[in-house]
Amino acid sequence: MKVDILTLFPEMFEGVFQSSILKKAIDQNFLQYHYINFRDYTDNKHNKVDDYPYGGGAGMVLKPQPIFDAIASIEKEETVKPRIILMCPQGEPYTQRKAEELAKEDHLIFICGHYEGYDERIRTGLATDEISIGDYVLTGGELGAMVVIDSVVRLIPGVLGNDTSAVEDSFSTGLLEHPHYTRPAEFRGMKVPDVLLSGNHAHIDTWRRKQALKRTFLRRPDLLENQSFSVEEKEWLKQWKESKGSS
């Protein structure tokens, strides 16, 4: 996968790309990345990339010209149009499903804004996607882009080594992930559930599914709204609802 990042602060990304899974992905040629400081593309003699908003108001707005020209410099080398992602608090809430969708792409371009916002023509004339990582505002789009890139790259086949790791993540199955345990079997009086020590993989699979469903029911019941359940799972949910109602 190729990733281009339009940012005024490329130095923010170095620690992220040179650490952990992303570094591994780069070293093994699963990922190529490039920073573009769109200030380098401004036609303003003072290298300004922002200006006052028409109609007045607080803050400054990113001008369209530097960003359009920066994108054009990337696209002239491409035969297939890349996905152009605008990091924006007004965008589509980011989900694991979106990460899985983007992981299938060969080329992603991220636009990281600053100041009060973007000239609307960047949004309507360039972006194929607008993404928000949450209902809050950051000082710029860089941190959000890092989150999206990390979550996408780890889904590229081969990056994690064991591809089932990503398949079983929270949200990938529509549920939160089941609890995990490792050695020792008992720690400070807290014991690993007997079923996990039993060696009976059918019972272990059932326990994990039940725990994932229960954790989702208790913590994120909204995720269950569009799920389909087996007869057994419906019975579990019924019991938990009755127990919750009587408590």
Annotated binding site for S-adenosyl-L-methionine: 113, 133-138
- Options 150, 169, 177, 233, the catalytic residue: 169
Q: How far apart are CA 67 and CA 74, in angstroms?
A: 11
CA distances from 93 to 90, 175, 203, 244 (A): 9, 18, 36, 30
- Options 10, 64, 89, 179, the catalytic residue: 89
Q: Is 154 noted as a catalytic residue in this protein?
A: yes
Q: Is 89 noted as a catalytic residue in this protein?
A: yes
CA distances from 200 to 66, 137, 169, 178, 181 (A): 61, 48, 22, 17, 16
- Options 75, 100, 101, 116, the catalytic residue: 116
Annotated binding site: 113, 133-138
Q: How far apart are CA 130 and CA 17, in angstroms?
A: 23
Helical H segments across 28-112, by residue range: 64-75, 96-102
Nearest to 24 by CA among 153, 159, 218, 224: 159
CB 105 within 8 A of CB 83: yes
Q: Catalytic residue positions?
A: 89, 116, 154, 169
